[in-house]
């Protein structure tokens, strides 16, 4: 287990990850596989630890954004099938094949170049991405689709393992555009001479709302971490999700200010009365962004406002009274009856919940809990 020497840390409840996946397993139609989306360091939750837990709970495959993320999982001993959802380089097909990593394909010129560069005999699995209206990656016309299918067919090591699309509005209460994309996908699938073994379209929102239209695999991301894909559809979800991520620190300095005394850069905060001010060792370089000024944290089971500008490595809070240095501060999570959720932070920042855990940087160590006990600590500082 890594050590760390600053009293700020993330706690990842792997029991919550397990339960969120196991509940989906029970909820989905029999035979629908779960692909756990662990890109961006598992949305900031720890890629290998989340991957292993999700696989234990019933996921059979993993998805990442880029080849480097898949290679990192292999280095950490994750052996399950991995799909790279984003674009890769044609010259990296050999590397992907060597590590049994599937790649997304959506351009015939890319595949032409890959076939000219790859002389190996080790199979490389491809998932064909179809753009049904997300407008990001994917084939859009029949000719290109047929060209790609024919190229794969002509090149023995190339295997078409899957075909998929991605929804732009599955987390929207209004299902009109979702229905359009779903119908478009059905139509585009007929452009293929035959359907490959894996056909998938659902993200968390679609898996939880339209599991009857998920084909034979879902790509489960945000709700594996216990977060609703959007506030609007939270009431529509079929079962309770358990948030896995919490963020904590400790008071490293406590002082009493007299009226008129100032706090932090720009001296923008002025004490109005005698005030107790605490300093905590977390700042915007940790992803605790400057826009969180005027938000609050929990200390002593009570809300404490963040006062003055958030610095790179520290910020200040107004305490309910004199508290000892070392008192635990919760920035995301629960203290007694008080809770600060990721959704609360996202709302204050004017963003979506996805962004919050992803933004808590590598500099904040992650402590992993399984069966309520610490099973690992990862401190990425100094790992280059």
Which of 61/366 has CB closer to ligand PMH?
Answer: 61
Q: What are the backbone angles phi and psi of residue 136, rounded to the nearest 5°?
A: -120, -75
- Relative orientation angle of helices 67-75 and 47-56, to the nearest 10 degrees: 70
Active site residue 180: no
Span interacting with ligand PMH, options 26-34, 142-150, 198-206, 330-338, rule CB under 6 A: 198-206
The residue among 236, 315, 302 whose CA lies nearest residue 268 is: 315
User: What binding mask, one character per residue, do residues 345-364 give for ligand PMH by CB under 6 A, x or -?
Assistant: ---------x----------
In the block, residue with structure tokens 């989340």: 50
The residue among 208, 201, 202, 171 whose CA lies nearest residue 27 is: 208
Minimal distance in Å, beta carbon 85 to ligand PMH?
Answer: 4
Give the pair of three-digit tokens for residue 201. 């379209």
Q: Tell me: does residue 133 bind ligand PMH (CB under 6 A).
A: no
How many residues bind to ligand PMH according to rule CB under 6 A?
A: 12
100 assigned binding-site residue: no
Span interacting with ligand PMH, options 44-52, 107-115, 186-194, 217-225, rule CB under 6 A: 217-225
Minimal distance in Å, beta carbon 39 to ligand PMH?
Answer: 7
Q: In Å, what is the CA distance from 328 to each residue of 131, 274, 373?
A: 48, 23, 19
Give the pair of three-digit tokens for residue 279. 């300093």
- Residue of 14, 38, 84, 85 that binds ligand PMH (CB under 6 A): 85
Give the pair of three-digit tokens for residue 121. 């005999």
The three-class DSSP label of residue 170 is coil
Distance CA 328, CA 286 (A): 18
Span interacting with ligand PMH, options 12-20, 150-158, 201-209, 273-281, rule CB under 6 A: 201-209
Distance CA 63, CA 82 (A): 5
**Residue list 140-169, contact with ligand PMH (CB under 6 A):** 166
- Strands 8-13, 366-370: pairing is parallel
Q: In Å, what is the CA distance from 54 to each residue of 76, 162, 180?
A: 15, 21, 31
Active site residue 265: yes
Distance CA 263, CA 308 (A): 5
Q: Which residues contact 329 (CB under 8 A, 6 or more apart)?
A: 248, 249, 250, 251, 278, 280, 297, 298, 299, 304, 317
Q: Tell me: does residue 37 bind ligand PMH (CB under 6 A).
A: yes
Q: Tell me: does residue 50 bind ligand PMH (CB under 6 A).
A: no
Minimal distance in Å, beta carbon 270 to ligand PMH?
Answer: 40
Catalytic pick among 75, 239, 256, 265: 265
Which of 222/310 has CB closer to ligand PMH?
Answer: 222
Catalytic pick among 39, 118, 225, 354: 39
312 assigned binding-site residue: yes
Contact between 331 and 341 (Cβ < 8 Å): no
Span interacting with ligand PMH, options 22-30, 179-187, 197-205, 246-254, rule CB under 6 A: 197-205
Active-site positions?
A: 39, 265
Question: Which residue numbers belong to the known binding site?
Answer: 136, 312
Question: Which residue numbers belong to the known binding site for substrate?
Answer: 136, 312
Task: Please give the residue ranges that form the binding site for ligand PMH (CB under 6 A).
Answer: 37, 85, 166, 203-205, 219-222, 229, 354
């Amino acid at each position: 287990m890594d050590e760390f020497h600053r009293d700020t840390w993330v706690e990842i409840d792997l029991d919550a990850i397990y339960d969120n996946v196991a509940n989906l397993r029970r909820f989905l139609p029999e035979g629908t596989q779960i692909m756990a989306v662990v890109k961006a360091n598992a949305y900031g939750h720890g890629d290998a630890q989340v991957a292993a837990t999700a696989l234990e709970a019933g996921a059979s495959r993993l998805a990442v954004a880029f080849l480097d993320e898949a290679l990192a999982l292999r280095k950490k001993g994750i052996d399950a099938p991995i799909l790279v959802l984003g674009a890769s380089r044609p010259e990296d097909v050999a590397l992907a094949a060597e590590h049994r990593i599937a790649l997304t394909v959506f351009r015939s010129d890319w595949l032409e170049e890959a076939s000219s560069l790859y002389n190996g005999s080790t199979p490389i699995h491809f998932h064909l991405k179809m753009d049904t209206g997300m407008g990001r990656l994917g084939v859009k016309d029949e000719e290109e689709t047929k060209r790609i299918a024919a190229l794969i067919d002509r090149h023995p090591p190339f295997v078409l393992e899957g075909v998929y699309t991605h929804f732009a509005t599955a987390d929207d209460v209004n299902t009109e555009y979702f229905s359009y994309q779903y119908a478009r996908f059905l139509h585009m699938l007929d452009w293929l001479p035959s359907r490959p073994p894996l056909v998938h379209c659902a993200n968390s929102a679609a898996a939880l709302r339209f599991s009857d239209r998920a084909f034979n695999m879902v790509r489960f991301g945000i709700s594996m971490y216990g977060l609703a894909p959007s506030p609007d559809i939270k009431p529509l979800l079929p079962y309770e999700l358990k948030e896995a991520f919490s963020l904590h620190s400790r008071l490293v300095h406590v002082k009493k200010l007299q009226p008129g005394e100032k706090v932090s850069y720009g001296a923008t905060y002025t004490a109005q009365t005698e005030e107790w001010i605490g300093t905590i060792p977390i700042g915007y370089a940790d992803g605790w962004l400057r826009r969180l000024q005027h938000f609050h944290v929990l200390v002593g089971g009570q809300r404490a406002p963040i006062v003055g500008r958030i610095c790179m490595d520290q910020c200040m809070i107004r305490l309910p009274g004199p508290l000892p240095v070392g008192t635990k501060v919760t920035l995301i999570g629960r203290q007694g009856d008080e809770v600060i959720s990721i959704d609360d932070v996202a709302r204050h920042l004017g963003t979506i919940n996805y962004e919050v855990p992803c933004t808590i940087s590598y500099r904040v160590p992650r402590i992993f809990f399984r069966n309520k006990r610490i099973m690992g600590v990862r401190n990425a500082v100094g790992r280059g």
